[in-house]
Amino acid sequence: MLKKNETNIIGITGGIGAGKSTVLGYIKDNYNCLVIFSDDVANDIKKKGYPAYDELVELLGKEVLAEDGEIDKAKMASAIFNNKNLLKKVNNILHPAVNTFIINSIEKERVSHTYDFVFVEAALLIENGYDKIVDELWYVYASEQARRERLKSSRGYSDEKITDILGKQLDDASFRKHCSFVIDNSGELSEAAKAIDDKIGEWKKNG
């Protein structure tokens, strides 16, 4: 339940190709909110000065560093390519660090009340138990056909690759079970935007 006079923490989740970034771009442009992208956090915490940096360098060696001393994405990807054990160790470093960073950001905003909303985007919000951290979980849905078309045009993925990725993600029923609000982003952004405006309009009216 969205609350007035408090910062509302909302988790945004959905499958690959559903258009979560596009939906959040609209929200960010039209509402007083902070948007946290988990992928951006994961990139930031690999930089010098963060604990994850030291742990990753210790695990992977200085061979993954660029000339400026920062972790080179390509070198890191090469180091863990086809090594499931090493990938698991990297994820065991990154996932807790990302969660800690996001939780700290949420707590900071709960105190400062700078924004009406904090939106947290991550593919694994449900799996990582964010339903216990956020006030609401919102699900960005798109039909499989729409997702396939987007992944082909934007990323150049083959049908086989898309099928493999979709098979490893939560199904539609699981997303709907855990999320209190569904945004259908199968078509034009204007349709998803109207659903968002209606939802936040109700919050404003009832506040």
Q: Where are the domains of the chain?
A: 6-32+115-201, 42-113
For 111-142, the pLDDT digits (tens) are 998 999 999 998 788 988 888 889 999 999 99
> 3-class DSSP state for residue 176?
helix
The fold adopted by the segment(s) 42-113 is Rossmann fold (3.40.50)
Q: Is the pLDDT of residue 6 over 90?
A: no
> Which CATH architecture describes the domain 6-32+115-201?
3-Layer(aba) Sandwich (3.40)
pTM here is 0.86
**Do the first three CATH levels of 6-32+115-201 and 42-113 match, i.e. the same topology?**
yes
Q: Is the pLDDT of residue 207 over 60?
A: no
Q: What's the mean pLDDT in 187-204?
A: 93
Write out 69-109 in H/E/C secondary structure.
Answer: CCECHHHHHHHHCCCHHHHHHHHHHHHHHHHHHHHHHHHHH
For 39-68, the pLDDT digits (tens) are 999 999 999 998 899 999 999 999 999 999
